[in-house]
A = this chain, B = another copy of it.
């Protein structure tokens, strides 16, 4: 098991960071080059199809991080409440307390749609499935569970947008504190 990250893995991390800061259209090759410390031409060594490949790699990396920080804790052993706490902590970490945007948002704007179609959809689908399964376990019907999961993702994405617009992480933090209740409560 390699302790040292490969150069490519480091690059993907940096690229993901840049995309989450500037969006797809805003993340120019120059910026991506500066962010990775790799020359523009070197980027094409790791990502033969250029920006498109970089977006895909960034999306896959982000998805993997969400699985690790949120979905796996939810699927683990233990009390529901504890798992939900771990998942919200994971969300806070992944979104840096609300300071970093979500690629689901950024990759559904402008040219990103043509460059990497379906990428955002698959990301949100995975999250929806994981949340719905937990909501079902918490006592919701299959139908209710789906709605609860959707509501959770809506609040997640929305709180990130509002936090960004207001220049404050409070909306995101408040959303995190609401999340466990949203999924656990059975009363309508």
Contact = CB atoms under 8 A, between A and B. Distances in A.
Interface of A: 22-23, 25-27, 101-102, 104-106, 108-111, 120-121, 123-125, 147, 150-151, 153-159, 161-162, 164-167, 171, 174-175
The quantity of this chain's copies bound in the complex is 2
Contact of A154 (B23, B106, B162): B162
Given A158-B154, A158-B158, A165 B110 contact: no
A157 B166 contact: no
Nearest to A119: B165
Nearest to A147: B174
A132 to B, nearest CB: 14
Contact of A26 (B102, B111, B121): B111
A147 to B, nearest CB: 7
A153 B164 contact: no
B165 A121 contact: yes
Contact of A161 (B25, B158, B166, B171): B158
B104 A109 contact: no
